[in-house]
Amino acid sequence: MKLLEEKIKKEGKALPNDILKVDSFLNHQIDVAFLNEIGKEFQRLFANEGVNKVLTVEASGIAMAVTTAQAFGNIPVVFAKKVAAANMSKDVYCAALHSYTRQRDYNITVSKEYLHEDDVVLIIDDFLANGEALNALISLCKQAGAKVVGCGIVIEKTYQPGLERIREMGYRVESLARIKHMDEGVIEFVEE
């Protein structure tokens, strides 16, 4: 998605430790007009698959999951929760993952009420690096018996093992921007 590559080049910041900051439009401030376009693009890529639910994980996946769901005609979004809150039912599907950004392990959960075996799910997330979040989200769908049509990713780091890992599991992954190399102040995209 050319528009996204230009946005990342203009506003993204490649920091040390392989951190790409896109806080200006994606995961702190949200450029809503731009996310509307991202939602339309995911809908175009996964049209005619019978998607009836968008699944993501809090917090930074929520905004793009909502605009994607709108593009599919306002289907429901479910966001997996990172912390078992006091008002969370015990009746949940649960999957473990490691956050490389925050250097810690945690669980994500989805209430069994909101993920079913008749669901046809599109998984949406902002980043794909090691594939930890996607793997956990797929696990939640498997536990529910729901069908996963694929994963829509805004920014993929192609030099990390996430894509291969998820594709080897048999799932389609569509990334709107694919970074092949990143260094402090340098961002290079895969040429399609």
Residues that bind a second copy (CB under 8 A): 15, 17, 19, 21, 23-24, 28-33, 35-36, 58-59, 62-63, 65-67, 69-70, 74-79, 81, 83, 85-87, 89, 101-103, 110-111, 113-114
Tell me the closest approach of the beta carbon of residue 10 to a second copy, in angstroms. 14
Please say which residue, 37 or 169, places its beta carbon nearer to a second copy.
37
Q: How many CA atoms lie within 13 A of 26 on its CB side?
A: 20
Find the shortest distance in angstroms from Cβ 163 to a second copy.
Answer: 21
Locate 13 and state its tokens: 């910041």
Query: How many other CB atoms sit within 10 Å of the CB of residue 116?
Result: 13
- Backbone torsions φ then ψ of 97, nearest 5 degrees: -155, 160
To the nearest whole angstrom, how small is the minimum distance from the Cβ of residue 95 to a second copy? 16
Q: Of 48 and 74, which CB lies nearer to a second copy in the complex structure?
A: 74
Nearer to a second copy, 33 or 186 (CB): 33
Q: Give the closest residue to 161 by CA, choosing from 137, 133, 130, 138.
A: 130
Contact (CB, 8 A) for 155 and 179: yes
Nearest residue (CB) to a second copy, 31 versus 174:
31
Evaluate whether 35 touches 60 at the Cβ level (below 8 Å): no
Q: Which is nearer to a second copy, 3 or 59 (CB)?
A: 59
- Distance of closest approach, residue 57 Cβ to a second copy, in angstroms: 9
AA identity, residue 1:
M
